[in-house]
Amino acid sequence: MDAGRENEAGPMKNSTTMERKSERELVTTRTFNCPARIVFEAWTKPELFKRWWAPKSMGMSLRSCEMDVRVGGKYRLEFEPVGMAFFGTYLEVTPPSRLVWTNEEGGEDGPVTTVTFQEKAGKTLLVLHELYPSKEALDAAGTGAAEMLGETFAQLDELLVILGAIAGRS
């Protein structure tokens, strides 16, 4: 799966692309139809994050989600029913355009994740960049998520419509 990949084809829908940019990098992009500050909020407020993150068809949901969104702050995500936990530290926090965090539960093999939110004409291009410590670590992590990402982002779309409506009213 080294080539770019598109989900959700169709003229109206925003597509998700995933590409292995180098031996250690995996880059995913997706456009959202709303301003960056709203997308950023959905990524940094636990009560919002919980609502869209876990793809429903996986049969898992976020049991708990703690986020101390500031440089050096920690996050912790716990899924149910399996009780898997993911955690790490925020390295950079620049609202509403950039977030960088570590993935520490896998020890040395976890990547550093950089998310950028670029606003253009009311839409936001999200670039999710993951840099692994080695080629082997990326190979081992696999790309099984490609199928699921489209679903996760569609769930985020739904939430953003609601948030956009609320923001529009106030």
Partner 1 sequence: MCYILNQMVQYTQTHFDSSFAALSDVTRRGVLEQLGRADASITDLAEKFRMTLTGMKKHVGILEQAGLVTTEKIGRVRTCKLGLCRLEEEAAWIERYHQLWSARFDELDKVVEEMKRKEKADGRRTRK
Least Cβ distance, residue 37 to partner 1 (angstroms): 19
Is residue 148 at the binding interface for partner 1, with CB under 8 A as the rule?
yes
Is residue 79 at the binding interface for partner 1, with CB under 8 A as the rule?
yes
**Residue reference for tokens 């898992």:** 60
Is residue 81 at the binding interface for partner 1, with CB under 8 A as the rule?
yes
Do residues 75 and 66 touch, judged by C-beta distance below 8 A?
yes
Is residue 28 at the binding interface for partner 1, with CB under 8 A as the rule?
yes
- Candidate ranges 4-12, 65-73, 107-115, 160-168; the one touching partner 1 (CB under 8 A): 107-115
Do residues 161 and 168 touch, judged by C-beta distance below 8 A?
no
Is residue 110 at the binding interface for partner 1, with CB under 8 A as the rule?
yes
- Candidate ranges 31-39, 54-62, 89-97, 154-162; the one touching partner 1 (CB under 8 A): 54-62
Distance CA 156, CA 53 (A): 7
For residue 42, the SS3 value is: helix
User: Of the candidates 129, 117, 114, which has an alpha carbon nearest to the alpha carbon of residue 20?
Assistant: 129
From 5, 7, 18, 36, residue interacting with partner 1 (rule: CB under 8 A): 18
Angle at Cα 21 formed by Cα 18 and Cα 23, nearest 5°? 120
Please give the DSSP secondary-structure letter assigned to residue 25. E
Is residue 133 at the binding interface for partner 1, with CB under 8 A as the rule?
no
Is residue 117 at the binding interface for partner 1, with CB under 8 A as the rule?
no
Least Cβ distance, residue 17 to partner 1 (angstroms): 12
Distance CA 167, CA 113 (A): 28
Residues 6+ apart with CB under 8 A from 142: none
List of residues contacting partner 1 (CB under 8 A): 18, 26, 28, 55-60, 77, 79, 81-82, 84, 86, 103, 106, 110-111, 113, 115, 128, 130, 141-145, 147-149, 152
